[in-house]
Chains A and B, each alone.
Chain A
Amino acid sequence: MTGPVPRARKSRRVLGATLAAATAAILVACGPTTYEIPIETPIQPKLDLSAFQRVLIAGFVAGGTSDVDTNQETVRLLRSQLRSKSSLRVIDADVLALLEVAQDQNKGAADPPADTTKGDSAAPAPRAAQAGDRTPTALPQQIKEEKDLEPYERLFANTAYWKQIGEEYQNPLIVTGTVLFTSHSRSGFVSRDVEQFDSLGRRRVVPVRTYMERTGFILRPKFIFIDGRTGATMYSESYREEVLYNASQTTPALSSYFELMDRLVPNFLSALSTQKIRGTRVLLK
């Protein structure tokens, strides 16, 4: 029984083992051919801010729900974001009540000039009034929807007013605009995943369409960037974000406001400072 047959078997085993070892060695030497790697892509700011060292978040023409003081909250949030995420120095100043400023300017423009020698330098007249238009559109006292904001756009075009604000704060970059934060409700079919177990106790998730009444909020800010040296608008951008909850869920307006602003803040910051976008890519051998 110790003839040539077992020897042949043995040599086959040795050969097999050698081949397996060689294959393993080749695989280890070659290693994987793909590598997932995290990257951070820097995106340059939308605005050239080389002329500015300081920024004034002046205030906003705000409207919508009365549960949140949108002007104050927006100013506070943007200031704190800029302090931590931008190289610009943030000016601490009282928040401008732009709704009142706009109404004063409108009133001033509508009134006939009693004495031209007594110019009101505190609130320069809007451009329309300067151009000779003595009947500017009345400004709505309360801002409830988007169209109520339109007449207030004149305020942002009033370069004399913004130049004056700029002079007051040594020519910073001025950030202002409008913010509309409104509640809304929507009913309809919503698809949601429901967990089900069959007769054998096996779990499965099934999409089910159900009719739901939902309530929530819409946030529509428009950020306007003004050159404090000239009072002219450099750039503006508008956004719209909304959130909906089950009608039974009671979410405070302020927390919804912050939830929606959280989504917008990166876009706002990308106008002023370099942003890094994180992602993963695959490197190949």
Chain B
Amino acid sequence: MKWSITAGLVGALVFPTAPLLADGRADAAAQVAFGIEVARRGLWREAIYRWERAVQIDPAYAEAYNDLGVAYEHEGQLEKARKAYEKAIELDPKNPQIRQNYDLFKEINDRASAASKEKP
């Protein structure tokens, strides 16, 4: 009985925000899921809004940054896409899908930057 009270107190002191964090992640996950739904219907602006909300709620959400990278790329906002992909890789460096998206993006981005450098 004593042990369980002590454990409860320690838990409350050490992880006072755990339920809040769990709620935050769930909320962010809901935003990401909704963003995917609308992106699949071609509503990329709405998807961007949702994914931006998701990373505001949970700034460590690598998948949300990845999705933002894809959406910015689709909208031609290449600098924002690069930052989003790089943040996603920073948060989850071993995710092969994020890496693959980033590699494909880089091919296009390099072409676009080469073109802008060539501009007279």
- Chain A residues in contact with chain B, CB under 8 A? 34-35, 37, 39-44, 46-48, 234-235, 237, 270, 277, 279, 281-285
Contacts and interface: CB of A to CB of B under 8 A. Distances in A.
A281 B29 contact: no
Contact of A39 (B62, B74, B118): B74
Given A41-B76, A47-B119, A235-B120, A283 B108 contact: no
B76 A43 contact: yes
Given A235-B119, A281-B104, A44 B97 contact: no
Interface string B105-120: 1001001100110111
Contacts of A46: 115-116, 118-119
B60 interface: no
B115 A43 contact: yes
Contacts of B101: 281-282
The 10 closest A-B pairs by CB, nearest first: A284-B63, A42-B76, A39-B74, A281-B70, A46-B115, A282-B97, A281-B101, A283-B67, A43-B112, A283-B36
Nearest to B66: A284
A44 B118 contact: no
Contacts of B63: 284-285
B112 A283 contact: no
A36 B18 CA distance: 33
Contacts of A237: 118
Nearest to A234: B120
A37 B29 CA distance: 19
Q: Secondary structure of the B side of the interface? A: helix
Interface of B: 29, 32-33, 36, 39-40, 62-63, 66-67, 70, 73-76, 78, 95, 97-98, 100-101, 104-105, 108, 111-112, 115-116, 118-120
Nearest to A281: B70
Contact of A41 (B39, B74, B98): B74
A237 B95 CA distance: 39
B112 A44 contact: yes
B70 A37 contact: yes
Nearest to B51: A283
Contacts of A35: 36, 40
Contacts of A48: 119
Given A35-B36, A41-B73, A282-B101, A270 B115 contact: yes
Residue among B39, B70, B78, B104 facing the most chain A CB atoms (10 A cut-off): B70
A55 to B, nearest CB: 17
B108 A43 contact: yes
Given A40-B74, A279-B108, A283-B36, 8 more contacts: A39-B74, A41-B76, A43-B115, A44-B116, A46-B115, A284-B32, A284-B95, A284-B97
A282 B100 CA distance: 9
